[in-house]
Structure 1
Amino acid sequence: MGKVKVPRKSTWVDMTAMTDVAFLLLTFFMLATQFKPEEAIVVDTPSSISEIKLPDTKVILISVDKTGKIFFGLEGTEFRKALLDNIASKRQLSFTPAEKEEFSKLANFGAPLNELKSYLAMSKDQRKKYNEETKGIPCDSTQNATNELKDWVIESRRVTNSTAVIAIKGDRDSNYPVVKNIIATLQAQKANRFNFITNMEQAPNL
């Protein structure tokens, strides 16, 4: 006598609810994620085996490209707005709300103070060309009337209550005298703790 075959029944699972949840999560992360603004210059840093990681905010970043131009940046949108207010007050300058908002979006910049307003009014392409041609932020007081880097560092430390981490990002081909001037500027303010940003290199096997 043959076996009676039980017909197979296909199962059906309603995935609508799960799909809705997936889209909600995707939308949340797209809206909540803050993308880091593009840096004004490309710096080819030397390598090291250091594993120290910098925080995501309250970081003073001083960059030096291969030609020796200095660029300055401060992490944190609100800190940048407060920084520009302090600089404007100190140097008797004025910036519009739109200019302050634009400044708060900058990862870093290399415009001297007398060119900062025009820099903020530039388009992305204009800034890219400017960054290639600028002399950078004045630092050496023997060649410039004032050391503007000093003021940027002082006011950045002030708006962060002196808790900001200072980092120097120097190109492997940059001139040592420029980096030496930066270090001297920091030490003159008793900022003797700072980090050098490098590319990660595998530690040798001992």
Structure 2
Amino acid sequence: MAKIKIQKKDIWIDMTPMSDVMTLLLCFFMLTSTFLTPEPVQVTAPNSVSEVKIPEQDLLTILVTPEGKIFAGTENKNHMKTMMETMTDKFGVQLNASQEKHFLEDAMVGAPMAQLSTYLNLDPEKMTEAIQTLGLPLDSINGGKSEFQEWVTAARDANPDMKLAIKCDSKTPYATIKKLMSELQDMNENRFQLITNLDVKRLNN
């Protein structure tokens, strides 16, 4: 008796719905993602085993380079604009629309007030080069606050709930960090966090 051969059929799966889902997910993540502005100077934070999460909002980040140069800024551009207006009024610095635009495009402020207008007149490429040699002064102004302290005060005025976080390089001199903390404490800013990289090896030991 002859055997009946069962005809084999190729299995075909319609992947169109899957590609539609992937496209929708891609669009969703692109529309909801927040792209961080690059920091003016790259630093390598020291390692630690602390797992305390740094808040993503209402945060003033204070960046300290290996050379001891100091920058400060927040991701909230409305707060940065308020800080800019407070400081330019206080120091009698006038900025035009183009300069204000350049200021808000920067992730952080790092130019001394005496050089701010000149710095903001530069092309973006030149600004990136120039900021490497600048930094907020820690020296007292006529026995009063330093420019760094004035920026912290302006940030606090812009947002009373602003939290402070210090991000220094692992090679930043201890004397610089000590002076920075002393300036904050002189303003009764005694609560701040240190940004570090998680040392997974030490954490697992």
For normalisation by structure 1, the TM-score amounts to 0.84
Deviations 1:130-182 (A, max 9, x none): 13322x11112189986111111011112122x12211122233233322222
Structure 2 CA distance for aligned equivalents of residues 179 and 155 of structure 1: 21
Identify unmatched segments of 5+ residues in structure 1: none
- Residue type of the partner of 1:19? S
- Look up the match of 2:107: 107
Residues 204/24 of structure 1: CA separation in 2 closer, same or farther (3 Å cut): closer
Structure 2: runs of 5 or more not aligned: none
Alignment RMSD: 2.5
Q: Identity, % of aligned pairs? A: 33
Match of 1:200 in 2: 198
State the alpha-carbon separation in 2 of the partners of residues 103 and 2 from structure 1: 87
Q: Match for residue 177 of structure 2?
A: 179
The count of corresponding residues between Structure 1 and Structure 2 is 204
Q: How high is the TM-score relative to the length of structure 2?
A: 0.85
1:190, 1:145 → 2: CA distance? 15
* Secondary structure class of the residue paired with 2:105: coil
Q: Is the counterpart of residue 132 in structure 1 residue 132 in structure 2? A: yes
Partner in structure 2 of residue 168 of structure 1: 166
Shift of residue 108 of structure 1?
1.9
Q: Secondary structure at the match of 1:42?
A: coil
Q: CA deviation at 1:186?
A: 1.2
Higher-helix-fraction structure: 2
Asked if 2 retains the 8 angstrom alpha-carbon contact of 1:139 and 1:148, the reply is: yes
Match of 1:152 in 2: 151
- In 1, are the aligned partners of 2:93 and 2:113 still within 8 Å (CA)? no
> Does structure 2 conserve the Cα–Cα contact (< 8 Å) formed by 1:59 and 1:167?
yes
Find the aligned partners of 1:46 and 1:32 in 2 and give their Cα distance.
Answer: 31
Q: How far off is 1:60 after superposition?
A: 1.1
The offset of 1:59, in angstroms, is 1.3
Which residue matches 1:34? 34
**Cα deviations across residues 5-46 of structure 1 (Å, max 9, x unaligned)?**
232333444333432332232123223322111111122332
